[in-house]
Chain A
Amino acid sequence: MGKSAESSDALRALRAAVEAAKPEEAWRAGRPAVGYFCSYVPVELLLAAGLSPVRLRGLGQEDSSSGDAYLSHLTCSLVRHIAAAVLDGAYDFLAGQISVNTCDHVRRGNDVLVAKSDLAYHGYISVPHSLRAGLFPWYLEELSRLKASLEDHFQVRVGGEALNQAITRMNRVRERVQKLDDLRKGPAPRLAGADAFTALVAARSLPPERFVELADALIAEAETLDPIAGIRGRVLLIGGELDDPRFVRTIESQGALVVGDLLCFGSRGLGRVVEIGKDPLSSLARAYLHQIPCARMMDEFPQRWQALLDLYQASRADGIIFTRIKFCQIWANEVHNLRHRFETHPLPMLVLEREYGTVSTGQVKTRVQAFLERLETRRND
């Protein structure tokens, strides 16, 4: 049996960061930690303000009942788990949170946190639903207002130099994300998709320097590993919110290898470096607004489609697994639109709906098995 990543200390540390009941590393950094909801919040702004940015997640909470009481069972289970985690005290180390008008679920999650949590600070930005040039100044102004609000609440000043420093720190993270991506994509990957994904999720909780250290170690170790054997199909993972490497592991347990993703917690939001310049806030605004777009960007399906085709080709994928959390509407119709495009450009796709916090292992395995058989048949034909 060849050498696998299982014995990697770096991977264990990254896993621990993902599975931690509290993102303690950020907490121990000695700076106030601020949670944020969405990949359109520039973490560089928080770093420059001397804060520890923590991407809000369910933190392994199995019970979301305190969130359910306010948000109902018809709301996204990720948002319900986050609300529950905050209300139940799992995020008691946070000094505040920043929300976005990402979707109706996040907006209501924010309402609940504002009304019911003990968090001292609540920031908010309105991100346009289009990348049209005319809307850029609005987003920039929103970031500027967020900056002012952070400065006011935390009694700090966020200057251009601090911002550029934060951009530099995060660019190092972005470079590692790209490297991890490249490791997955190669003709004979040595790093399982679940392991690479673990690192990407950890990038949202760890201080940049700690992530860089662990990612470098993992990347270096990965080069010494044996190529993964017994791959029945190379797949891309696309869709909405997914922060659970167990889900990826379950997919891969059937012989699939996840060779790339276009996920919010994956490489979609961290895949490109940010330009350093005289106007760092504008640089940030441009980079964040023009990341590979989330499905909330109403006129950007063609860009997502192109990004998918590019990644499909670059990663030599055999198929696509689309996943979304039940009740998420903005990602729901990506399936309809993709199928529409598949009529002229057919690609095999499996759609898996999920509830946050649990992995229906048996069901996922059965569906992935059937999908892999389909891919194999297709290949043999």
Chain B
Amino acid sequence: MAGLANSQELDLVIGGFLRRLPRLDPIIREITEGTPLLLKLELKDPPLAAEIDLTCTPLVIRTDSTAAGTVGMAGRSEDFQRVLLGLLPVAKGINEKKLLARGSIALLMKAVPLFYVVPYIYPSYLESIGRADLIEAGEYPPLHADQPVEGIMNQIISALAYGAGYLMGFIKKRIAPRLDILAALEAMGQGLRKAGPPHQV
């Protein structure tokens, strides 16, 4: 994979992205329904072992631990980069043995939605660290089968969120290319936390 030929770079790029996740703690906790799991990511070629520890608040990212994790996902770094970009959906990765999952299915399924969301922010992150070269062009397959959004309030909020996302995208593309999407999401997370009790561990 161009540009990620060694562990140092991998740690800088993917590790750096993961280390930003605590900023999104309230959002991630919503996505994972406050499940106190420890997701172990084991990348190889080049290697990187990382943990997303949701057993504490705010969540902690570790890249220096040998713990097995509650659940795990292993694969080649190149494939994992494609997962983060949304080019390799988790299901496809598992079916094609590019991603090897481990642990309680229920907990894994709580963690997997992270990978539905990450592809919407990872490219912005790569741009922000000057590694837009890593963003591959390609067809973006659906990450999961759509489930009908139930309830009028869910539908209204989903529509509003879509509008906000569209607006951010428009501004970033047309007006302010350096717009920090992660900061915007972080602010959204803070709002979530302020408005109601977040999932606590």
In the complex, are there CB atoms of A and B closer than 8 Å?
no
Binding site for B on A (CB under 8 A): none
Binding site for A on B (CB under 8 A): none
